Structure 1
């Protein structure tokens, strides 16, 4: 056992003393960065639409109904903008089927199954908590945009600003 450990340590020392600097990581392809951003943001926004569609007929307060309508209209418009940006740049934008759990803020299947069974204040509280987390995830994703496309950078900044305002509004409705 000691000989094996000594051999491993010797091999690591020799490799570390080779004098050759480590090869630099290749720069990410800007188009791939942009396509990945849009490929995650579009289904993220689509889930927000799924959540806003649950509000009607659940006994939600007028305040919740108003914020859900605002979110719905903004998400529809932004999905169209993202799809247009992808087409204009010939970016391959695919769905992240099965990857929703990997995106920040995505509601899990249990939450999506539970929300439609709730009504009144119980629905409102659970929906607001879910949508706040969802928006926080979108803000995280938008802040993490690392591409070089100026239009997408502005889009990401606008997403951070608008969804931050909506988070504040939803937090006020919770209290």
Structure 2
């Protein structure tokens, strides 16, 4: 007689925990909608959004602290491109019934994100020192974004996600090359 209540409790717990995966913003709804998006596609958007938000945070610092036209122009280009990409990826996540990351929720520990110490160094720098540090830091940050995009290209299934990932690889690759060129000129 005691076995039935235990089995019922275990069954209820399994049912509840299974439901948490769907309600908690997991990727199960994507498979059910027939959207053509995979777990990789969802993860790409959910991680690239905070990554782009951090790029925009760095770009705002440049608009406030930079003395160099190249840094200011690069920061403006990054803000424009990545704001549009955030809107695009947010729309995909919403259409897949998956949580869209809120601004500032990723923290500094997510792969590809700059640490609080790296951001603090920039916040405390000024003049030519700021510009040099910003270029080095932004190039590092963009490289991690390119790596994230390459993963989406290799294993993603959603054609628009793969198109965006290719645009990120190409666009950020060119931006990194320009930044690296500017850093080399300054030496």
TM-score range, shorter chain: 0.7 to 0.9
Trace 1:9-158 onto structure 2 (pairs within 5 A).
30-94=37-101, 97=105, 100-104=108-112, 106-145=113-152, 146-158=155-167
- Does the CA contact (< 8 Å) of 1:35 and 1:92 recur in 2? no
Question: Over the residues paired in the alignment, what is the CA RMSD in angstroms?
Answer: 1.8
TM-score in terms of structure 1 length? 0.76
Deviation at 1:111, TM superposition (A): 1.4
43-52 or 82-91, which moves further after superposition?
82-91
118-127 or 134-143, which moves further after superposition?
118-127
Deviation at 1:88, TM superposition (A): 2.5
Matched pairs, number:
146
The whole-number CA distance in structure 1 between the counterparts of 2:145 and 2:122 is 20
For 1:148, what is the secondary structure of its paired residue? coil
137-146 or 113-122, which moves further after superposition?
113-122
The whole-number CA distance in structure 1 between the counterparts of 2:108 and 2:71 is 25
106-115 or 82-91, which moves further after superposition?
82-91
The whole-number CA distance in structure 2 between the counterparts of 1:98 and 1:149 is 23
The whole-number CA distance in structure 1 between the counterparts of 2:105 and 2:62 is 25
For 1:55, what is the secondary structure of its paired residue? helix
For 2:63, what is the secondary structure of its paired residue? coil
For 2:92, what is the secondary structure of its paired residue? helix
Structure 2 gap segments, 5+ residues each:
1-30, 32-36
- Does the CA contact (< 8 Å) of 2:50 and 2:106 recur in 1? no
In structure 2, which of residues 169, 172, 185 is the aligned counterpart of residue 160 of structure 1?
Answer: 169
The whole-number CA distance in structure 2 between the counterparts of 1:57 and 1:142 is 29
The structure number with the bigger radius of gyration is: 1
- Does the CA contact (< 8 Å) of 1:35 and 1:93 recur in 2? no
Cα gap change, 1:63 to 1:124, in 2 (>3 Å): same
Structure holding more helix per residue: 2
Deviation at 1:94, TM superposition (A): 3.6
TM-score in terms of structure 2 length? 0.72
Cα gap change, 1:126 to 1:40, in 2 (>3 Å): same
Structure 1 gap segments, 5+ residues each:
1-28
For 2:114, what is the secondary structure of its paired residue? coil
